Amino acid sequence: MVIGPDRLYVIVTAPRPVNTVVGVWQVNTIGEKAVIPTSPVTLMLNPTGRVRGFSGCSQYSGRGSMNDEMATFATPASTAQNCIEGLASQERRLFSALQSAHHYRYTTGTALTVYNDNDETVLTLKQTDQVLPEAKTNETQYICEGAGVVTVRNVSEQVIELTIAQEQPLLSKTRSPNGSRYAGKEIIFHHHQGEALLEYEGQRFGCQQR
Q: Do residue 27 and residue 99 come from a single domain? A: yes
The better pLDDT of the pair 177, 80 is held by 177
CATH of the domain at 37: 2.40.128.270
Q: Do residue 29 and residue 117 come from a single domain? A: yes
Assign 3 a pLDDT band (cuts: 50, 70, 90). Answer: low
Q: Do residue 70 and residue 158 come from a single domain? A: no
Q: What is the mean pLDDT of residues 41-58?
A: 90
What pLDDT is attached to residue 192? 92
Q: Do residue 100 and residue 152 come from a single domain? A: no
Assign 134 a pLDDT band (cuts: 50, 70, 90). Answer: low
Our count of domains for the chain comes to: 2
Domain annotation covers residue 87: yes
Please identify, among 97, 127, 157, the residue that sits at the C-terminal boundary of a domain: 127
Domain annotation covers residue 18: no
Q: Do residue 109 and residue 159 come from a single domain? A: no
CATH of the domain at 170: 2.40.128.200
pLDDT above 70 coverage of the chain, percent: 88
pLDDT of residue 6 exceeding 60, the answer is yes
Domain annotation covers residue 132: no
What pLDDT is attached to residue 15? 53
Q: Do residue 37 and residue 68 come from a single domain? A: yes
Give every CB contact of residue 207 below 8 A, 6+ residues apart in sequence.
142, 143, 144, 145, 147, 150, 191, 195, 196, 197, 198
Q: Do residue 103 and residue 52 come from a single domain? A: yes
Q: What 3 state SS string does the chain have?
A: CEECCCCEECCCCCCCCCCCCCEEEEEEEECCEECCCCCCEEEEECCCCEEEEECCCCEEEEEEEEECCEEEECCCEECCCCCCHHHHHHHHHHHHHHHHCCEEEEEECCEEEEECCCCCEEEEEEEECCCCCCCCCCEEEEEECCCEEEEEEECCCCEEEEEECCECCEEEEECCCCCEEEEECCEEEEEECCEEEEEECCEEEEEEEC
Domain that holds residue 204: 139-209
Q: Do residue 30 and residue 117 come from a single domain? A: yes
Domain annotation covers residue 202: yes
Please identify, among 99, 127, 155, the residue that sits at the C-terminal boundary of a domain: 127
Please identify, among 62, 92, 127, the residue that sits at the C-terminal boundary of a domain: 127
What pLDDT is attached to residue 17? 62
What pLDDT is attached to residue 149? 87
pTM for this structure?
Answer: 0.71
Q: Do residue 114 and residue 163 come from a single domain? A: no
Q: Do residue 34 and residue 68 come from a single domain? A: yes
Domain annotation covers residue 34: yes
Domain annotation covers residue 9: no
Domain annotation covers residue 96: yes
